[in-house]
Chain A
């Protein structure tokens, strides 16, 4: 019996040893396969902002923590949504800053003061979302501007050709007179965004009245959109360094925002999709 026990122990020891060695090998390979992406430095971001005067990148202090939680593949859906909503709220407030204000004199309890309020009624502000991912912005958008009109444009990117395809639109009738906030979480190649902007242009909207909000963008996308539409304003939370060529995904990026926010992909697939 003693001999059997020793044999059993040896087998277990060998099994354990092989497992440890294999997992180390796998980790090493894994480490080489998943590259480490470094973010752009302050200098590079400042250069970008100097080149495009209508571009605003949110302060890193505000967005670092939130974006870090969102980028994590292990983030569960509730955490992802909460943080996405926080970031979207920050972007929305920033967008409202850029809408024209008018000056008036008003009365406070102790005396008069100069008031600077947004010139337009809530209904004259229109949030246009690029379905399907852009719809995530509407949740927080309606909390900030409860009377805003909402327009929707459905553009899907063909997974093989990476070309955007237009499906459907529903926009307010008087959209050519409104202040537009166009929303889409990612700005990769800029294909879907410029298609949406063309749709707005055909409906009579002027470029100066459009503010484009996006969570993560990249230099190529920004350049493309500004080349075709130099007078719009773009506000982005962060600019990522790399656009992976063949799949046209941002890196490190957030993965597929729509799938992660709406929960249409199982958690363990998030890593593969990248």
Chain B
């Protein structure tokens, strides 16, 4: 019919007008965009906006893949260190016990967080647990004029979150921990600083324990001060009596040394576990964001192509009806 022949005429007219448009009228959006991309050859994204968009984001996706491999190898390194360091505190827990529900007068909460962002929710969970511990402590003691709980914050992200509402409770802040890789000397220096600047009855360290690349368990490690250990735990001190202590050290001396050393070991392990969790969370966050970005890119490309086809069809109809009007 007239419209049919007019349409075919319009097609031929369109082909003459621009070579690119032809590809959109062939089958399907995918084929159209790739064919168009091939036909235009290598791209400078500036001039040819639709095809340029597709190739530039392909580049970004490839970059993310590469940084994922790098992150995986970094993760493996820290993970090995963290798992090896677990053997440091296990004998302590076997000997001295782990009592998270202790009610003491002075508590020190060490919140271990990361310096860098883009690591998912691990820092917010750690901060949430620390705040919960403070509230639990407040429940135990009722309102006091001097706070019975003091924060020691490790890591930029923790400080940013806790500074908002708990500024009065912060005692120390350690930053830029990961500039050199975590080593025992560093952790013991930090532990030393904390011990020297605060009087406490119990320390509770909040960190993310590494379970697997996708699972990090927020953990609270409780360390009692030597006086608490002596006072509270009768069977423990009974056990220690079974050992003969060489040298001039008394039991109190030994317990004090043990308590300090336990703090340094736990600090070391907690820093390593948190670092491993941070790397794992970064990896999964990057992976998720890459996948989301690719999905969004695909759906947007389809929408773009569809609307482009619609506008071209409209133009063609105009041309064809114009041509038909001229003829008829």
- Please determine whether chains A and B interact with each other in the same assembly: no
